[in-house]
Every structure is written in structure tokens, then in C-alpha cells.
Amino acid sequence: MPRRGIRVFISAFGSIVELKARIADLISLVNAALLLSHGLRRNVVLIVLMVREGLVMRVVGSGLRQYRPDYASARGLLLKALRRGRVPGIVVGEYDGLKHLVKGIAYEVSYSSGIPLRYVTFSRGVDYTFILPSCAKLLDSEEVRGLKKVMLPQQYPEDQAVVILNNHLDRCRC
């Protein structure tokens, strides 16, 4: 069986306080990126930036243990990772630039410009990184400028945008 490429989704919150206040949005994003009907996507990494503090949380599907999609369990695990800095599959560390987070071919996800998703050709075994709109909005434009843009047909909440991207990549067998 050919190697499946790694999918990296990068999102951002203004601060750790905002992340904690919007923990339900984070849980929805983790669920959208990593969950399948019968398990976890092992080839997906969700990266969440906390811009004001300069922190980054990596949720790695291949290393995640004891993740349950219900709100209380997921909330407990994510907050524990924030407190301790590390639990299996989730690591919190310092942010040292977007270029260190990007794996493979990078796309900025947009709702207003870029190549429509249905016309983008993805290849099997290639790693892809998607910079979600919240991240592009909060980061220095220099870091995001120059990336290819992929356009979704309408404006979606970020978790739904991740589901659409995952479904599209699944159909391409990437």
C-alpha cells in the first residue's frame, strides 16, 4: 500500500485566554481534523497557534491516546495538555515561525480568492499543509504571503472547512 501523505491544518487563536473561552470551537476543530467513524486519522496533524503568548499546540493523530470526541473528555485532555505542556499526542511549545510548521506543499485557505478546491490536483503520498483563515488573519502577512491559495465555494466555520478539505483529499486517495 502506498504511503499516505501527512495533512497539516494550522489554525490560530488570539491568546490562550481566547482559546480557553472558545474551547468548544477547538474541540470541534480537533474532531473535524482527526476523527473518522471508526477511529482516528493517523496521518493528520492539527496545529493551533496562540499568537499573543507565542505558543503552539500540536495535536498529532499518530500519537494521540485516550481521545474521546465528547465535550467533557476532550476538554479535560486539551486543558491538561495546556497545563502540563505534553500528553500523548498533544504537545504545547513555543512558536518559532510558520516555516517550521509547514510540511510539504502549503496552501492558504480562502473564501474570496485563489484556485477553487475542485480544480486543485493533489497527489498521493505528498504532504500538504493548509493555513486556515483564522491563522492567515492573525499572523504577520509576510509569513503567509506567497503561499498558493485554495478557495472554498462559500464561507464555512473552520471545523467544516477542515471536513471539506479532508473529504476532498480522501476522494483523491491522498
The predicted pLDDT at position 141 comes to 67
Provide the 3-class DSSP secondary structure of residue 172.
coil
Residue 155 main-chain phi, psi, to 5 deg: -80, 125
- Weakest mean pLDDT among 1-10, 21-30, 121-130: 1-10
Q: Residue 132 pLDDT > 80, yes or no?
A: yes
Residue whose grid cell is 504571503: 145
Given the DSSP bridges, would you call strands 90-94 and 115-116 parallel, antiparallel or unpaired? unpaired
List the one residue out of 34, 25, 85, 22 whose CA is nearest residue 57.
85
Domains of the chain: 7-171 (3.40.1280.10)
Q: Residue 120 pLDDT > 90, yes or no?
A: yes
The predicted pLDDT at position 66 comes to 82
Mean pLDDT for 121-136 is: 93
Mean pLDDT for 132-155 is: 85
Mean pLDDT for 26-41 is: 94
List the one residue out of 27, 57, 28 whose CA is nearest residue 45.
57
Read off the pLDDT band of 57 (50, 70, 90). Answer: very high
Mean pLDDT for 96-103 is: 87
Report how far apart the first and last C-alpha atoms of the chain are (Å, whole number).
12
Q: Is the pTM of this model over 0.85?
A: yes
Q: Residue 143 pLDDT > 80, yes or no?
A: no
